[in-house]
């Protein structure tokens, strides 16, 4: 069976609210199915990796300071990373990582951190540092072909505008902007979201969407993933959905 190869970028700097747990979940869900999952790490000033040799590239979230810290290095990787994305490598991006794949992130002091401009959106933080989108969030996504209510936790000042294809519709919480209807950004090989949590621990369908995409990429006949027992995850999520959606 094919090995699923993941590159986790800036794990030492961008890892808010358990974001690196997303890698543990992908590894676990692969292992349970007999799929080998290899996770390499890349960080600032290392040799530019062959991004195209990976199935999935992951960047977690980070505060403004960490984003500033990695911005120049990320730009250095732009061409190789864009090539991989164009070839269909999956990009999974959380919060700070999500913001930096757009045109720019403007912080509360008005300083622009340049993004890679892979996508058209851009993010601006309000001048007041007190105006942040913080709390639990529920979004409904249809990426798997049927509606899935995804739960997570958001904490961002940045307001992301210009998203043409969101990851989901906000049922509770804020999303791309304060009180917005849309959350995240989606293409068949991109999930970019404000959801920490870590997001994949709470939402098994999203992990499986990515594993399935990676395993079937380039395959003549797509194979179904073997089902796993997700009762615990689904029960936990039901508690959150009841608590948050019934409040409205
Ligand atoms: N620094 C960014 C913001 O506050 C991203 C924060 C994060 O990754 N949680 O908008």
Closest-lying ligand 1 atom to the alpha carbon of residue 95: 8
- Cα dihedral sign, 204-191-39-23: negative
Q: What is the DSSP letter of 53?
A: G
Does pLDDT of 248 surpass 80?
no
Q: Identify whether the C-beta of residue 62 lies closer than 8 Å to the C-beta of residue 107.
A: no
Closest-lying ligand 1 atom to the alpha carbon of residue 63: 1
Domain that holds residue 26: 4-245
Query: What's the average model confidence in pLDDT over 61-84?
Result: 97
Does pLDDT of 15 surpass 80?
yes
- Total number of domains in the chain: 1
Percent of the chain exceeding pLDDT 90 equals 94
**pLDDT tens string 166-224:** 999 999 999 999 999 999 999 999 999 999 989 999 999 999 999 999 999 988 888 89
Q: Cβ(158) to ligand 1 under 6 A?
A: yes
Does pLDDT of 62 surpass 60?
yes
In this prediction, residue 223 carries a pLDDT of 87
Tell me the two tokens of residue 157. Answer: 């000042």
- Residue 52: pLDDT band (50, 70, 90) is very high
113 Cβ contact list (under 8 Å, min separation 6) = 64, 67, 68, 71, 100, 104, 105, 106, 107
CA 15 – ligand 1 centroid, Å? 11
Closest-lying ligand 1 atom to the alpha carbon of residue 155: 9
Residue 236 a catalytic site member: no
Q: Cβ(64) to ligand 1 under 6 A?
A: yes
CATH code of the domain covering residue 214: 3.40.50.880
Query: What's the average model confidence in pLDDT over 6-25?
Result: 97
Residue 95 a catalytic site member: yes
- Residue 247: pLDDT band (50, 70, 90) is low
50: exposed, middle or buried (Cβ count in 10 Å: 0-12, 13-18, 19+): exposed
Question: Which one of 8, 30, 77, 196 is the catalytic residue?
Answer: 196
In this prediction, residue 197 carries a pLDDT of 86
Does pLDDT of 137 surpass 80?
yes
> For residue 49, which of 30, 73, 23 has the smallest C-alpha distance?
73
Q: Cβ(61) to ligand 1 under 6 A?
A: yes
Does pLDDT of 227 surpass 90?
yes
Percent of the chain exceeding pLDDT 70 equals 99
């Amino acid at each position: 069976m094919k090995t699923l190869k993941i590159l986790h970028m800036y794990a030492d700097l961008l890892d808010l609210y358990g974001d690196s747990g997303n890698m543990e979940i992908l590894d676990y869900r692969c292992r349970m199915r007999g799929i080998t999952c290899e996770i390499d790490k890349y960080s600032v000033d290392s040799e530019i990796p062959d991004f195209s040799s990976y199935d999935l590239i992951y960047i977690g979230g980070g505060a403004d300071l960490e984003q500033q810290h990695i911005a120049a290095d990320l730009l250095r990787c732009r061409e190789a990373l864009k090539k991989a994305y164009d070839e269909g490598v999956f990009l999974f991006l959380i919060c700070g990582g999500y913001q930096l794949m757009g045109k720019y992130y403007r912080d509360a002091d008005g300083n622009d951190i340049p993004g890679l401009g892979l996508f058209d959106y851009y993010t601006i933080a309000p001048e007041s540092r007190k105006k942040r989108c913080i709390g639990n969030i529920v979004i409904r996504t249809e990426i798997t072909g049927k509606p899935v209510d995804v739960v997570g936790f958001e904490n961002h000042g940045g307001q992301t505008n210009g998203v043409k294809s969101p990851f989901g519709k906000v049922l509770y919480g804020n999303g791309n902007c304060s009180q917005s209807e849309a959350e995240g950004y989606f293409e068949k090989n991109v999930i970019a979201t404000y959801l920490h949590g870590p997001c994949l621990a709470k939402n098994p369908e999203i992990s499986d969407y990515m594993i399935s995409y990676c395993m079937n990429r380039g395959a003549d006949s797509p194979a179904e993933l073997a089902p796993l027992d997700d009762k615990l995850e689904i029960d936990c999520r039901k508690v959150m959905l009841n608590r948050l959606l019934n409040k409205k």
